Amino acid sequence: MEDMSACPQLSEALHRQVGEQKAALETLGEVFAQEAKRLCQYEQAQCLRDLRCEVMRRVECIDRMERDAAYRYSDVRLMRGLAAFALGTLRAAVVNSEDPLSVGLRLAKGDLERKQSYGTVLVVIGPGGVPDDVNVISLSRWARESGRSEARIEAALKAKGYRLMTSQDFSRFMEELESRVLGEMVALPVATSSLAQESADGVPEQLLLQQEQQQGSS
């Protein structure tokens, strides 16, 4: 009988212990969930840092290629100009038509003044957004190979929903995006449409204004 009377008390104690353990597990689950979320944020922030480093490396590489191409073009333009000057001067001297030097200079002028676009390297964020659709392009090379102006190509890309930035603007933009990821304001991947909305909300708007001013002054 004494053992039977202790059963309700034992059951109540067990029930209380189960409740305490359940509450402890729920609290621990919340801690784990918060920690997992924090780790995810830091992983995404690290992804953005790695992407920024890779983009800067590619920008530097393409910049170097553009400088080399510009130097080669300058050498070729000079050689063509000198050749045109020499041939024009010689021809004028042979036929005795007019001042040979004037003829040579006039023929060389076209080659010496001929120009092509070099050195405009931009970071392009495509419809896939960040970090999946980020590329580096030489706008100057596209212009040279297509025979179109840089402004026309840039306008066509923007019309298709691409975001174009200088490497400096992209670096600052990525720093801002990283802060927003760590602040739980945004999560990767970030679509281009979301980036446009962020611009409307004033996040990278200042960067875009700076870019437009730079393009307008150029």
Among 55, 46, 64, 65, which residue's Cα sits nearest to residue 170?
Answer: 55
Strand boundaries in the chain, DSSP class E: 121-125, 134-138, 163-165
**pTM summary value:** 0.69
Q: Which two three-digit tokens encode residue 162? A: 């691409």
* pLDDT value for 173: 93
Our CA angle for 122, 199, 154, nearest 5°, is 30
DSSP state of 205: H
* pLDDT value for 175: 93
148 close to 80: Cβ distance less than 8 angstroms: no
- Whether 68 shows a pLDDT value over 60: the answer reads yes
Q: Mean pLDDT lowest for which of 34-38, 42-46, 109-113? A: 109-113
Pick left, alpha or beta for residue 55 (phi over 0 → left; psi -120 to 50 → alpha; otherwise beta): alpha
Collapsed DSSP state (helix, strand, coil) of residue 126: coil
**pLDDT tens digits, 139-196:** 999 999 999 999 999 999 999 999 999 999 999 999 999 999 988 888 898 888 777 6
143 close to 150: Cβ distance less than 8 angstroms: yes
142 close to 153: Cβ distance less than 8 angstroms: yes
162 close to 119: Cβ distance less than 8 angstroms: no
Mean pLDDT in residue range 116-145:
94
Residue 120's pLDDT band, with cuts at 50, 70 and 90, is: very high
Residue 74's pLDDT band, with cuts at 50, 70 and 90, is: confident
Name the residue ranges covered by the structural domains of the chain. Answer: 40-217
DSSP state of 128: T
**pLDDT tens digits, 197-212:** 555 444 344 444 444 4
Q: Which two three-digit tokens encode residue 36? A: 């997992």
Collapsed DSSP state (helix, strand, coil) of residue 125: strand
- The full length of the chain comes to 218
